[in-house]
Amino acid sequence: MDLGTLIGIASGFILIAIGIISNGSILTFLDPASMMIVMGGTIAATLVAYPLPSVLESGKIVKKAFENKKSNSNSVIQNIIELANKARKEGLLALEEMSNDMDDEFLKKGIILIVDGTDPELVRNLLETELSFVEERHKVGQGLFETMGSFAPAFGMVGTLIGLINMLRKLDDPSTIGPAMAVALITTFYGSLLANLVFLPIANKLKVKSRNELLEKEIILEGLLSIQAGENPRIIEEKLKAFLSPAMRKPLNEGVEENA
Amino acid sequence: MDLGTLIGIASGFILIAIGIISNGSILTFLDPASMMIVMGGTIAATLVAYPLPSVLESGKIVKKAFENKKSNSNSVIQNIIELANKARKEGLLALEEMSNDMDDEFLKKGIILIVDGTDPELVRNLLETELSFVEERHKVGQGLFETMGSFAPAFGMVGTLIGLINMLRKLDDPSTIGPAMAVALITTFYGSLLANLVFLPIANKLKVKSRNELLEKEIILEGLLSIQAGENPRIIEEKLKAFLSPAMRKPLNEGVEENA
Amino acid sequence: MDLGTLIGIASGFILIAIGIISNGSILTFLDPASMMIVMGGTIAATLVAYPLPSVLESGKIVKKAFENKKSNSNSVIQNIIELANKARKEGLLALEEMSNDMDDEFLKKGIILIVDGTDPELVRNLLETELSFVEERHKVGQGLFETMGSFAPAFGMVGTLIGLINMLRKLDDPSTIGPAMAVALITTFYGSLLANLVFLPIANKLKVKSRNELLEKEIILEGLLSIQAGENPRIIEEKLKAFLSPAMRKPLNEGVEENA
Amino acid sequence: MDLGTLIGIASGFILIAIGIISNGSILTFLDPASMMIVMGGTIAATLVAYPLPSVLESGKIVKKAFENKKSNSNSVIQNIIELANKARKEGLLALEEMSNDMDDEFLKKGIILIVDGTDPELVRNLLETELSFVEERHKVGQGLFETMGSFAPAFGMVGTLIGLINMLRKLDDPSTIGPAMAVALITTFYGSLLANLVFLPIANKLKVKSRNELLEKEIILEGLLSIQAGENPRIIEEKLKAFLSPAMRKPLNEGVEENA
Amino acid sequence: MDLGTLIGIASGFILIAIGIISNGSILTFLDPASMMIVMGGTIAATLVAYPLPSVLESGKIVKKAFENKKSNSNSVIQNIIELANKARKEGLLALEEMSNDMDDEFLKKGIILIVDGTDPELVRNLLETELSFVEERHKVGQGLFETMGSFAPAFGMVGTLIGLINMLRKLDDPSTIGPAMAVALITTFYGSLLANLVFLPIANKLKVKSRNELLEKEIILEGLLSIQAGENPRIIEEKLKAFLSPAMRKPLNEGVEENA
């Protein structure tokens, strides 16, 4: 679990609920019709804006923001170094059996390409195209949530306009003005809250996670090419560690020492 | 049909209509004069902003957002592989007759260039210029709808200002204030709704579709150049499959196996 | 005449006028003092933002948005092909006399450079610098109108604030509140209308026209360099046609056939 | 003096003053406390946003927007051509004494590098680093004013919120509501006016001036490298004139002819 | 201490406090519940938007905006020149002991690489990767504060909507409208103030500081590579001084002369 995402959304809604209760009733703020306009409108507009499969996949994308794939750049580098040592001692072909234990599809694919004796330039080309495709797909996911984050407040305003126009049409009874306006404003409230507590933050979290995943894949790419070039495992390690922040490097050093 | 676009726009308007009816009358929200200001103003401004032919073409562009050109990156790759096999066995000249069955103009043009023995560098140049031109033309279409998406709310506000100023001028009868303000707000309502349910989402859908179309053309470009270079069909397949997402690749594998 | 620009601005103002009249008097919306604040403020801020000569030139720039320089990419290509044929038959020096009939300064300059036997690399350099300079100058023109499009609503709001503050100061007579607020809102109305019907659309039209002009100049540049390199006129035609959209190419084909 | 900047700011404030007087008293709009909140808040936020020395330098930067350094691209080119002629006739070393008469530090430095026989690649490197540094420094100046242009309206709104909250707290006497709101709105008025008549336009003027200054330095850079390469002064002239707009070129031609 | 940051935030809050007191009571503006909604909501959304470790580190990042790491580009250059002299006289290996006195990790790492006789291309690669990683990490810090600067006003508005809706629900007693609205507006006030006096300016200050730190590291990188290439210390000095502004260069010249 990505605790940040969970705690953030939960605590955000609890805070807002406390803010509401301290001066009124939570029931006032639960209005199914308003929710229908804001969420329904947002989803409708998103269906127009994005291909159906992408929209249907959004549930899966949201899940990604809640998952906490342990950032394993360190173990990735260790894997690469093990592969490099193996390749040094037993030749490139020995990597094939090792690849069966890996569960990273990208790493597997790269090893197979190397074992097949593919031209290094072509290996780089194929893996970089793969990489840019992953990036592209991630961007669609982020874009989906950013788009929802811009449509939600817009439909919040549309809902408020509907409420205001309906209210202004029949100003017979002044005592109804207040409650009618209150209801009208609820859609704007929903729109702002959804955009700023759910859609936009999730879009950002997806962006951060995407960057980490791409960084890992870049480490794999550089590592595999170095292995193919027959570089010294020590130099490979030095090279790949440059991708890590100093804070992340320490455990690696230890790990490698333990390994050595 | 692109179901997403259709369902999105239809359900969006239905939702808004339900939201309106639940508390008032749909007739209140049908105001031809307001529609004239918002749509008329938006079209007028767009006529100033874009060349006449582009604006007149906007109907055709909208149609594109509703069409569901089955994403056929897979069949494109299969076509390329068939061409590669043909070229291997019977030489480049044999491609000419095959090109007659293709209905992709871009692919046809590329084949003719290859068959004519054009210099590879020039083939790449010509096809890339063509590609960048297609991209440019797509961008004009997207820009048109983005522009309309920014003008619609602006003219909504202009309409509301006109209504407010007219109302404020003659505040004799307080009982008319409410209805007059209601009418004034309808243009803002139209502007927001058009922008966020129609113009901006369509602009985004056009962008996504353009990207897919360009991806296909890039696959064709790379494939043709590989054929011209006499590369092995298997390697060409490997190269082009990197352009596809893993999800899209599966059917291809099957298809190719069936083909084999 | 660029009919789009003319029709757009004219019909936009007529529509707004109809919208006003349908519910009030056009006289209410003609307020010289408000116009002075909005237009005066916008021009004053633009004088601070841009060099005096650029601002003084803005009249000439506006004219450009109304002109309809017939997009003559086709005739440009035909000119280039004629030049290429001439150069093939009679040598590069023969181009000099032909250049006298051309009225495109850029084309003329390029021909002279070629005739003078300038190094191809230098020709490209000189013409590209010229091109980037033209682009830069165009951007200043567009920027001028975009800037005015952002200042106009700002001064509209400043005007409304002045009106509101003046009104709120003396709330003695409630019957004056309405009309005073109406007057105060007129500057916002002016600002929005000017920005969205005049300044921003014109800035966009200038951008589109600039792109077309630069495309033509790029065609000339590529064409001249191909002529200098002694390329086959047929290949030059093929190369340059790639710059045109399929729709634009047809008339060229005909034209060339007629020519042939 | 840059007349545009001066006339723009002066006429802008005069126009606003006329707009105020026509319907109220200018005294209403002079509120030291409001000015303190807007200007003070803007300066405080800018102190947080930028390093102290940059903020203290802002006076000097403003001065730049009012100065009218006569755009002397023409004389720069003439200087370069004179240097080129001198170098042709008397050798590169002869440039040293000429450099003493120049007051452009950048030109001087370049000449010294050339005279010292520095490697051309290194000369380009050193001068381009210098250039990019000048650009960087200019960008800080522009950023400072853009930042102030975004903080001023924000603190205008903060001031208005303070005024509104204070007013709403004690709604005992309805007759005070109007004047209190008027005072509250004055900070928004200040913020908008400062941003749109002073900060943002000055940021833009600084950008334009920076571009001109960098253009001159680029001309010098290209010219010096051509001189070092021993190119023909005529070709150097041709090359450098491409940096000028056609309008700017005419006086140069005359000047050079006079010179010749 | 970075006096600018401290003085800016302190004087900003004092100014606002004076503005409040001049017309009301500071107590009105201290509302824990409102602060909870704005700050709590902002932090909750930030937890969703950024990884937990980055958010927890934000305290450390803030500290950076208050620290005044004396910009020591000059001493960095002097260090490099000393190293260059040492390397000239005693060979590259002599640098190792000197590196022990340095406290810049980046410089140390670079020296070790050089002493180890690492290939220059690899040294550049490793240090540039390190550099781009530092830049990336800095950007996360800036992004964190920019994000908070956009969430704070959003939750300010959410809080105001809650207050307004609660108030409008029960309009029984008109005398409570004013104070209730005042309280409702306080969250908007908090959101604007936090964003414009704290979050956004700090994000900008972090950006400026990051640029300076990266500049220093670039100077080190270029200097070390020049040392490794065995370049003349005078030329190295000339090269590195180009990274400094003229104002910063003077003390260096003196320092170097003193040193000489």
Give me the tens of pLDDT residue by residue for chain B, a chain 260 residues long: 788 899 999 999 999 999 999 878 888 899 999 999 999 999 999 999 999 888 888 888 888 888 877 667 788 888 889 889 988 888 888 888 887 777 788 888 889 888 888 888 888 988 898 888 889 889 999 999 999 999 999 999 999 999 999 998 877 777 788 888 998 999 999 999 999 999 999 999 999 999 888 988 998 999 999 999 888 888 888 888 877 766 666 554 444 443 43
Is B37 buried (19+), middle (13-18) or exposed (0-12) by CB count in 10 A? buried
Question: Which of C23, C148, C194, C243 would best serve as a mutation to test chain B binding (most B beta carbons within 10 A)?
Answer: C23
Residue E70 has a pLDDT of 62
Write out chain D residues lying below 8 Å of C37, CB-based. Answer: 15-16, 19
Q: Do A239 and E105 touch (CB under 8 A)?
A: no
State the pLDDT at residue A259: 40
Query: B196 vs chain A: nearest CA distance in angstroms?
Result: 7
The length of chain E in residues reads 260
Give pLDDT, residue E71: 60
Q: Cβ–Cβ of A50/B208 closer than 8 Å?
A: yes
Most confident of A121-130, C120-129, D160-169: D160-169
pLDDT tens column, D152-175: 999 999 999 999 999 988 777 777
| Span E19-29, average pLDDT | 87
pLDDT, residue B248, reads 66
CA distance A33 to chain E (A): 16
Contact C7 B169 (CB under 8 A): no
Task: Test D189 with C46 for CB contact under 8 angstroms.
Answer: no
Mean pLDDT computed over every residue of chain C = 86
For residues C231 and B199, give the distance between their C-alpha atoms in angstroms, rounded to a whole number.
Answer: 47
Complex prediction ipTM: 0.85
Contact B126 C246 (CB under 8 A): no
Is the pLDDT confidence value at E255 over 80?
no
- Most confident range (mean pLDDT) of A57-71, C232-246, E64-78, E106-120 is E106-120
Label residue C259 by pLDDT band (50, 70, 90): very low
Contact list, B15 vs chain A (CB under 8 Å): 36-37, 40-41, 44
Percent of chain C scoring above 70 in pLDDT: 93
Percent of chain D beyond pLDDT 70? 93
Average pLDDT over residues D239-255: 65
pLDDT the model gives residue D254: 46
- Considering only CB atoms, which chain A residues are within 8 Å of E161? 185, 188-189, 192
Residue C161: pLDDT above 80? Answer: yes
- By percentage, how much of chain E surpasses pLDDT 70? 93
Query: According to the model, what pLDDT value does residue C64 have?
Result: 85
Q: How far apart are CA C199 and CA C190, in angstroms?
A: 12
E157 to chain A nearest CA, in Å? 8
Task: Return the domain boundaries, chain C.
Answer: 33-260
Between A21-25, A198-202, D68-72, E132-136, the lowest mean confidence (pLDDT) is in D68-72
Partners of E12 on chain D (C-beta within 8 Å) are 40-41, 44-45, 48
- Chain E residues with CB under 8 Å of A28 CB are 165-166, 169
% of chain A beyond a pLDDT of 90:
37
d(CA E168, CA A87): 74
The alpha helices in chain D, defined as continuous H runs, are: 3-21, 32-35, 41-49, 52-56, 58-66, 73-90, 95-99, 105-115, 120-169, 177-193, 200-228, 233-241, 246-259
pLDDT of residue C205: 93
The beta-carbon neighbor of C47 closest among D4, D196, D243 is D4
What is the pLDDT at residue D76? 85
Tell me the chain B residues in contact with residue C225 when contact means C-beta distances shorter than 8 Å: none
Distance from CA of A6 to the nearest CA of B (A): 29
Question: Looking at the predicted structure, is the pLDDT value of residue C101 above 90?
Answer: no
| pLDDT for residue B247 | 64
- Average pLDDT rounded to a whole number, residues A198-221: 92
Residue E40, min C-alpha distance to chain D (Å): 20
Chain B: residue nearest A169 by CA?
Answer: B179
CA distance B178 to chain A (A): 4
Distance CA E83, CA E102 (A): 11
Choice among A185-194, B223-232, D231-240, E206-215 with the minimum mean pLDDT: D231-240
Q: What is the 8-class DSSP label of residue D199? A: I
Q: What is the mean pLDDT of residues E89-99?
A: 84
Q: Residue D246: which pLDDT band, with cuts at 50, 70 and 90?
A: low
Max mean pLDDT range (A4-8, B119-123, C69-73) = A4-8
φ, ψ of residue E53 to 5 degrees: the values are -60, -40
Pick the range with the lowest mean pLDDT from A55-59, A72-76, B129-133, E80-84: A72-76
pLDDT at E170 over 90: no
**How far away is chain B from the Cα of A120, in angstroms, using its nearest Cα?**
14
- What pLDDT shows up at residue E247? 64
- pLDDT grade for E250, boundaries at 50, 70 and 90: low
Q: Answer yes or no: do E165 and A201 touch at CB < 8 A.
A: no
Q: Which tokens sit at D31?
A: 């509120």
State whether C41 and D177 contact (CB < 8 Å). no
From B9, B179, B192, residue closest to A154, measured CB to CB? B192
Residue of chain E whose Cα is closest to the Cα of A70 = E51
Rounded to the nearest integer, the mean pLDDT of chain D is 86
Cβ separation of D154 and E192 shorter than 8 Å?
yes
pLDDT score recorded for residue D42: 96
Quickly state the pLDDT bin for A175 (edges 50, 70, 90): confident
Cα distance between residue D239 and residue C127, in whole Å: 10
The shortest CB-CB distance from E15 to any of D37, D126, D151 is to D37
Neighbours of chain A (3+ CB pairs under 8 A): B, E
Interface test with D, best of E23, E145, E202, E244 (most D CBs within 10 A): E23
In chain A, % of residues over pLDDT 70:
93
**Which of C65, C179, C192 has the CB atom closest to B168's CB atom?**
C179
pLDDT at residue number D259: 40
Give the mutation candidate from A61, A165, A172, A187 for the B interface (greatest B CB count, under 10 A). Answer: A165
Give D5's contacts in chain C (Cβ within 8 Å).
47-48
Q: Which of B51, B105, B151 sits opposite C208 (nearest CB)?
A: B51
The CA–CA distances, whole Å, from A231 to A72, A88, A249 equal 23, 9, 21
| D41 interaction partners in chain E (CB closer than 8 Å) | 12, 15-16, 196-197
Kindly list the partner chains of chain C, i.e. chains with 3 or more CB atom pairs below 8 Å: B, D
List CB contacts (< 8 A) between D20 and chain C: 162, 166
User: Sign of dihedral through CA atoms D74, D76, D79, D84?
Assistant: negative
8 Å CB contact of B168 and C188: no
Q: Which two tokens stand for residue A223?
A: 């590592």
Percent with pLDDT over 90 in chain E: 36
Q: Confidence class of residue C35 from pLDDT cuts 50, 70 and 90?
A: very high
Flag whether pLDDT at C50 surpasses 50. yes
CB atoms C168 and D188 under 8 Å: no
Phi/psi of residue C229, each to 5°? Answer: -75, 0
Residue-wise burial string across D178-213, b where 16 or more C-beta atoms lie within 10 A, e elsewhere: bbbbbbbbbbbbbbbbbbbbbbbbbbbbbbbbbeeb
Predicted local distance difference test score (pLDDT) of residue A246? 66
Please indicate whether residue C155 or residue A254 has the higher confidence score (pLDDT).
C155
If you count residue pairs, one on C and one on D, with CB atoms under 8 Å apart, how many are there? 145
Above 80 in pLDDT, residue A240? yes
pLDDT tens, position by position, E225-235: 999 988 888 88
- What integer pLDDT is reported at residue A139 of this predicted model? 92
Q: Which residues of C189-225 are buried (b: 16+ CB within 10 A; e: fewer)?
A: bbbbbbbbbbbbbbbbbbbbbbeebebbbebbbbbbb
Of B192 and E55, the structure prediction assigns the larger pLDDT to B192
Which pTM does this prediction carry?
0.89
User: Taking residues D30-56, what's their average pLDDT?
Assistant: 93
Minimum-distance CB partner of B12 among A41, A126, A129:
A41
